[in-house]
Amino acid sequence: MTSLQTLKTQVKKYILILVIVALNTLSPTQAENTNNKNLTLAETPITKALYKPFIERYILDDLKLLRQEQQQLRVDFVEKVANARLDVSDRALRYTADTTTNIFYIITIAATLLVLLGWRSLQDVRDNIKTITSKQISDLTKKYEKRLSEIEDKARVRSEQIISTQQDIANTNLIHSLWVRSGITKSEQEKINIFDEILDLTPDDIEALTYKADTLLDIDEDTWSLSLSNRAIEINDKYALAYWQRACAKAKLGQHDDAVADIKLAIDLTDSLKAEVMNEIYFENLKNNKKFRVLTGKIENN
pLDDT at 243 over 60: yes
Please report how many Cα atoms fall inside a 13 Å half-sphere around the Cα of residue 270, on the Cβ side: 16
Residue 267 domain-assigned? yes
Question: Quick check: is 115 in a domain?
Answer: no
State yes or no: pLDDT of 28 exceeds 50: no
Is 191 found in the same domain as 137?
no
- Inside any domain, residue 121: no
Residue 231 has what pLDDT?
92
Same domain, 151 and 80: no
Summary mean pLDDT of the chain:
78
Q: Looking at 57, 84, 110, which one is the last position of a domain?
A: 110
Do 23 and 70 fall within a single domain?
yes
Q: Both 131 and 160 in a single domain? A: yes
Domain count across the chain: 3
User: Is the predicted pLDDT of residue 268 greater than 60, yes or no?
Assistant: yes
Can you tell me the distance from the alpha carbon of 180 to that of 200, in angstroms, rounded to the nearest whole number? 17
pLDDT above 80 (res 204): yes
The verdict on residue 10 lying in a domain is yes
Residue ending a domain, among 169, 184, 199, is 184
pTM of model > 0.85: no
151: domain range?
126-184
Q: CA distances (Å), 268 to each of 165, 239, 265, 284, in order?
A: 37, 11, 5, 21
CA distance 192 to 208: 10
Highest mean pLDDT, choosing among 1-10, 11-20, 85-94, 150-159: 150-159
**Residue 134 within any structural domain of the chain:** yes
Rounded (5°) CA angle 80-86-90: 145
Question: What is the share, in percent, of the chain residues with pLDDT greater than 70?
Answer: 77
> In angstroms, what is the C-alpha Rg of the chain?
58
pLDDT at 245 over 50: yes
DSSP 287: T
| Residue that finishes a domain, picked among 159, 184, 209 | 184
* pLDDT given at position 119: 53
